[in-house]
């Protein structure tokens, strides 16, 4: 199989002469410049396109946040603060540990947990309120995933904690 170098040598080895190329001192010949010049502007164009995409993203984010009410903006800020806190790492670890616990769906696994729930009645009440709110969300908005329902209920709880008397 001929290589590119062999093909090139055989092609130019014929009696065919390449077209004359005007030589400009310290510059590329015209046909080479036509290949290289767009690539120089390509780098600038790529940067320009990336900058415009980032600007469009920030503008869309600004429009979405400014469309929220003042109370919803406070809840969003609270959520961002919690996502940035070290406690979020601990929460991720705890969720992963409980998510992969074998046999957690069997009744005998709940014996110790039921004792813990009984020992803290305030937390038990909050847990049952959360379950009831989850059921109400599921009935009002069917088709939401379990994690989405949980997030929506938790965000609503944070809004309620900020202003419990309503809007």
Stated pTM of the model: 0.58
**CA atoms of 86 and 90, how far apart (whole Å):** 7
For the stretch 13-39, pLDDT in tens is 655 555 565 565 666 556 566 666 666
**CA atoms of 137 and 103, how far apart (whole Å):** 28
Q: Which residues of 109-120 are buried (b: 16+ CB within 10 A; e: fewer)?
A: eeeeeeeeeeee
**What is the chain's mean pLDDT, rounded?**
79
Both tokens assigned to 111 = 């014996």
| CA atoms in the 13 A half-sphere facing the CB of 39 | 5
| CA atoms in the 13 A half-sphere facing the CB of 44 | 5
For the stretch 69-93, pLDDT in tens is 999 999 999 999 988 988 888 888 8
Boundaries of every domain in the chain? 29-67, 69-162
Residue whose structure tokens are 């419990």: 164
């Amino acid at each position: 199989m001929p290589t590119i170098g062999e093909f090139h040598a055989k092609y130019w080895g014929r009696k065919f002469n390449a077209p004359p190329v005007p030589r400009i001192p310290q510059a590329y010949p015209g046909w080479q410049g036509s290949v290289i010049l767009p690539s120089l502007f390509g780098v600038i164009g790529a940067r320009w396109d990336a900058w415009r995409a980032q600007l469009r993203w920030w503008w869309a984010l600004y429009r979405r946040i400014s469309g929220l009410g003042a109370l919803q903006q406070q809840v969003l800020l609270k959520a961002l603060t919690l996502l940035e806190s070290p406690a979020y790492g601990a929460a991720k670890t705890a969720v992963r540990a409980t998510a992969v616990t074998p046999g957690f769906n069997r009744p005998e696994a709940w014996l110790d947990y039921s004792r813990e729930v009984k020992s803290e009645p305030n937390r038990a009440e909050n847990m049952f309120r959360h379950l009831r709110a989850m059921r109400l969300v599921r009935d009002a908005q069917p088709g939401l995933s379990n994690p989405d329902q949980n997030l929506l209920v938790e965000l609503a709880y944070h809004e309620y904690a900020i202003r419990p008397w309503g809007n």
